[in-house]
Amino acid sequence: MTKSELIEAVSAKVTNFSRKDIEVIVDTLFDSMSASLSKGDKVEIRGFGSFKIKARDGRQGRNPKSGENIFIESKKVPFFKAGKEIRERINNSK
């Protein structure tokens, strides 16, 4: 599902707001989540899952094109852990 598909799905269910209003709401939601993760906070959505930042250590890697050994710097990456309800929904869907 893309962001525009999400906006369309919400627009179909919520008829009180215009599509533009829903687009602003979805953008605000994603911006708020991104800002929280940037600060190192955890984002938890009950019944869906949680997002947090994990630190990856630097490591030795290899350029697949040239075969040359390179060092990959340490970095922070977002990590998503699915909630119990969504895992059950996925495993029980047919």
Q: What is the pLDDT of residues 56-73, one digit of tens each?
A: 999 999 999 999 999 999
48 and 70 in a common domain? yes
33 and 48 in a common domain? no
pLDDT at 93: 73
Q: Which domain holds residue 10?
A: 1-41
Of 6, 44, 2, nearest to 25 (Cα)?
A: 6
Summarised one tens digit per residue, pLDDT across range 18-45 is 999 999 999 999 999 999 999 999 999 9
Q: Whole-prediction pTM value?
A: 0.77
Alpha helices in the chain (DSSP H): 3-13, 19-38, 84-92
3-state DSSP call for residue 54?
strand
2 and 23 in a common domain? yes
Task: Give the confidence band of 46 by pLDDT, cuts at 50, 70, 90.
Answer: very high
CA–CA dist 26, 38 (Å, integer): 18
20 and 56 in a common domain? no
% pLDDT > 70, the chain: 99
pLDDT at 94: 62
pLDDT at 16: 93
Q: Specify the CATH number for the domain of residue 65.
A: 4.10.520.10
Rounded to whole angstroms, the maximal C-alpha distance in the chain is 58
Inter-residue contact 43 to 51 (CB < 8 Å): yes
91 and 48 in a common domain? yes
> In angstroms, how far is the first alpha carbon of the chain from the final one?
18
